[in-house]
Amino acid sequence: MNKRLTDMKKIFPLVLISIGVAMISVLSQFTIPFGPIPLTLQTLMIGIIGTIYKPSHSFVTVCLYLLLGFLGFPVFAGGAGGASHFLGPTAGFLLFFPFRAWITSLFTNAKSSIFTIFFANLLSSALLFVSGAIGFMLITHTDLQKAFALVVAPFILADLIKLIIITITSKAIFASLKHHWYFK
């Protein structure tokens, strides 16, 4: 293998990770107030990253995004940032974001069918809801029924729509980059 290709294989994942962090940060700004947990496009991008990136790269991408938010950069929903978000009602969601991407990545690649992509994202999204509800219950001292009513049920339809968008978008990305070594 020539040196240029070797260097490219080292640099390309770093570029992808940087683009992923930027995209999550930008899409997090599109919010619809929806009770204690806003509806954002953040999870849409995390799903796409989880689907098209390799597992370690998807995990690192989302961890770096969270680190920026933790350090106070305005990358969270509505331009928020700061360590306090990891102690608030969204903590369970935030802390599970890297695992949502990683779990999806474990099951998906360029050869995955639309059904595999959809169900991998459905699984990781369901686990994100579980983590988010548990975090919400612990922080707000509410019971499971109230947590479900406030932070899961209102988002199910929107999440299903996001899963369809993730599936279609990911297949299109894979198709357009099918000759690139990273996506093979």
For 91-149, write each residue's pLDDT tens digit.
999 999 999 999 999 999 999 999 999 999 999 999 999 999 999 999 999 999 999 99
Q: How far apart are CA 181 and CA 9, in angstroms?
A: 9
Q: What is the pLDDT of residue 1?
A: 58
Q: Does residue 184 lie within any of the structural domains?
A: no
Q: What is the pLDDT of residue 9?
A: 85
Whether 153 and 159 have beta carbons less than 8 Å apart is answered as no
pTM for this entry: 0.94
Q: What is the pLDDT of residue 63?
A: 99
Q: What is the pLDDT of residue 37?
A: 73
For 68-90, write each residue's pLDDT tens digit.
999 999 999 889 999 999 999 99
How distant, in Å, are the alpha carbons of 42, 43, 55 from that of 39?
9, 9, 26
Whether 47 and 166 have beta carbons less than 8 Å apart is answered as yes
How many Å separate Cα 32 from the centre of its chain?
Answer: 18
Whether 90 and 37 have beta carbons less than 8 Å apart is answered as yes
CATH at 47:
1.10.1760.20
Mean pLDDT of 55-68: 99
Helix (H, G, I), strand (E, B) or coil at 73: coil
In this predicted model, which residue has the larger pLDDT, 80 or 3?
A: 80
Q: Does residue 44 lie within any of the structural domains?
A: yes
The tally of domains found in the chain comes to 1
Q: What is the pLDDT of residue 184?
A: 79
How distant, in Å, are the alpha carbons of 90, 134, 143, 179 from that of 44?
17, 21, 28, 25
Q: What is the mean pLDDT of the chain?
A: 94
Confidence category of residue 32, pLDDT binned at 50, 70, 90: confident
Confidence category of residue 16, pLDDT binned at 50, 70, 90: very high
Domain hosting residue 161, numbered range: 3-177
How buried is residue 109: exposed, middle or buried, by Cβ count under 10 Å (0-12/13-18/19+)? middle
Q: Does residue 183 lie within any of the structural domains?
A: no
Q: Does residue 89 lie within any of the structural domains?
A: yes
Q: What is the pLDDT of residue 147?
A: 96
How buried is residue 57: exposed, middle or buried, by Cβ count under 10 Å (0-12/13-18/19+)? buried
